[in-house]
Amino acid sequence: MKELQYDAVVIGGGAAGMAAALEFDAAGFSCAIIEREDHLGGILMQCIHNGFGLHEFSEELTGPEFAERFIDGVTKSKIAVYLDATVTDFNVAGSALSGGQAAAYHELFCVSPNGVLRIKSRAVVLAMGCRERNRGNVRIPGSRPAGVFTAGLAQRLVNIEGYIPGREIVIIGSGDIGLIMARRMSWVGCTVKAVVEIMPYPAGLTRNIVQCLRDFDIPLYLSSQTTSIFGNDRVEGVEVTPMENGVLALEKRFRIDCDTVLLSVGLAPENELSKAAGVEINSATNGPLVDSRLMTNVDGVFACGNVLHVHDLVDWVAEESRRAGRCAVEWLRGERPALQFRAKAGSNVRYVNPTRIDPRRDNQIYLRSMVVKNDAVLELRLNNRVIRSIKHNHVQPSEMINLSVGPKELEKLNPGMESVLEFSIV
Ligand SMILES: Cc1cc2nc3c(=O)[nH]c(=O)nc-3n(C[C@H](O)[C@H](O)[C@H](O)COP(=O)(O)OP(=O)(O)OC[C@H]3O[C@@H](n4cnc5c(N)ncnc54)[C@H](O)[C@@H]3O)c2cc1C
């Protein structure tokens, strides 16, 4: 077994991992990225459509172009990159401190082309991304024929491997990957017969509904459940049943013939490793619970990107991950916040990240609405007193809301350890 040691190890070499790792390098700390694929870039490498980087670079890039900007930075840095290397085990250290510096070492085990690596590190950044929910997760009844794929797998087959998985497609779920794939499958000559969504509103971004469905005349059935998949060896069709007042209107069910079903029914942060290491998970996001520094309940273990919560735009992943890297650098230097108090989701808000606020710094907050609402107001209440109201023309669950809460507005209110900042949509 090869023994290695770094100040920081980043698990995952997608946008999140690279953005965090570059901060360690810039601060002069030794750092390694461990990536299980044979290349850096993560999910971006199969997203060959444009729409990336509008906030980060003020340009419209494809996924690989966005990734390339970070890969170039990593290549020019002193960051050690281990590819084809999977972290399989993670033992967290105690939180012993010596002279204001973090002294305890975490221990990661990694299977690589050079055998098993045992890597000691003072700080660890979790950046393992997320994975797609599948048919088992959403329990679609019917037979078990070939021809059922998750949308991301179909995207990889078409864009990377060069295979077309079928000809007549029905997409279940209206998440962004499914919408992007509706357009992609149309471009490669397939017929996309429908997108079927159980909720009364789409799960994906509005821009993707317009550019990927409306522009291609692909029908979107909202409030509709896929109640069966038909076919023996290969998919032959699906049964769709409209929902009325939350109940299946069985008399209105209909069949759509197809040979392929793509599932776009949600993403789940990839946290098996985190859980095994004792990292506490937020039941609202399925990602780690983090404080104002994006540090988990385990000292020196930080999380960012899709492993923390599923993001809509990679630009926010990059922002958050740089912040996680910077906070981890401060932690390595022995800096600790004097005070952090609680942030929580109030009415109509599904979650708030992070769940702790440091009144002395700019806290970048990401949250998701639970409702679709026009003329909405995001209300911030500190200890039940409204401290800010922000108007939003429109809010919906698929679009993340972000805002900054800083010392200017917090310090004069003199919050204490027991204070609570609540975010509500009214
Ligand atoms: C189909 C699709 C379309 C999208 N469209 C857009 C768009 O138009 N515009 C936009 O801004 N954003 C878009 N996004 C979102 C954006 O691409 C992602 O939010 C972002 O790239 C996620 O970055 P990440 O680093 O958190 O995760 P990932 O890119 O998933 O990276 C995680 C990495 O961790 C590695 N890993 C996991 N576990 C281990 C382990 N145990 N050991 C070693 N390595 C491990 C994985 O191999 C992976 O490379 C889209 C996403 C998808 C899937």
pLDDT in 10s for each residue of the chain, 426 residues? 999 999 999 999 999 999 999 999 999 999 999 999 999 999 999 999 998 999 999 999 999 999 999 999 999 999 999 999 999 999 988 654 444 454 578 999 999 999 999 999 999 999 999 999 999 888 899 999 999 999 999 999 999 999 999 999 999 999 899 999 999 999 999 999 999 999 999 988 888 999 999 999 999 999 999 999 999 999 999 999 999 998 999 999 999 999 999 999 999 999 999 999 999 999 999 999 999 999 999 999 999 999 999 998 999 999 999 999 999 999 999 999 989 999 999 999 999 999 999 999 999 999 999 999 999 999 999 999 999 999 999 999 988 999 999 998 898 888 999 999 999 999
Q: Look at ligand 1, atom 12, and give the residue with the nearest C-alpha.
A: 313
- At 109-140, the pLDDT tens digits run 999 999 999 999 999 999 999 999 999 888 89
Could you tell me the CA-to-CA distances from 179 to 131, 196, 218, 225, 261 in Å, in that order? 17, 11, 10, 17, 13
pTM here is: 0.94
Of ligand 1's listed atoms, the one at least distance from the Cα of 50 is: 8
* CA atoms of 355 and 251, how far apart (whole Å): 46
CB distance 240 to 227 below 8 Å: yes
* CA atoms of 21 and 197, how far apart (whole Å): 38
**Cβ atoms < 10 Å from Cβ of 281:** 16
Ligand 1 centroid–CA 44 distance in Å is 6
Q: How much is the pLDDT for 272?
A: 94
Q: How much is the pLDDT for 94?
A: 62
Residue 98 token pair? 């010596």
Q: How much is the pLDDT for 100?
A: 46
Q: Look at ligand 1, atom 35, and give the residue with the nearest C-alpha.
A: 12
Q: Look at ligand 1, atom 9, and give the residue with the nearest C-alpha.
A: 52
What three-state secondary structure class fits 314? helix
Residues with CB under 6 A from ligand 1: 11-17, 34-37, 42-44, 47, 51-52, 63, 86-87, 127-129, 152, 155, 176-177, 180, 270, 273, 305-306, 311, 313-315, 317
Q: How much is the pLDDT for 93?
A: 82
Which residue from 33, 68, 109, 128 has its CB within 8 A of the most atoms of ligand 1, so it is best to mutate? 128
CB distance 8 to 31 below 8 Å: yes
Strands (E), 185-336: 191-196, 220-221, 224-230, 237-244, 247-248, 254-257, 260-263, 267-269, 301-303
Of ligand 1's listed atoms, the one at least distance from the Cα of 307 is: 26
Ligand 1 centroid–CA 30 distance in Å is 24
Which residue from 82, 158, 314 has its CB within 8 A of the most atoms of ligand 1, so it is best to mutate? 314
CA torsion angle for 214, 219, 223, 227 (degrees, to 10)? -150
Residue 69 token pair? 């900007």
Q: How much is the pLDDT for 99?
A: 44
Q: How much is the pLDDT for 97?
A: 41
Closest to 178 measured CA to CA, from 223, 213, 206: 213
Q: How much is the pLDDT for 413?
A: 87
* CA atoms of 169 and 393, how far apart (whole Å): 35
Ligand 1 centroid–CA 305 distance in Å is 8
CB distance 204 to 195 below 8 Å: no
Residue 373 token pair? 């609402």
Q: How much is the pLDDT for 98?
A: 43
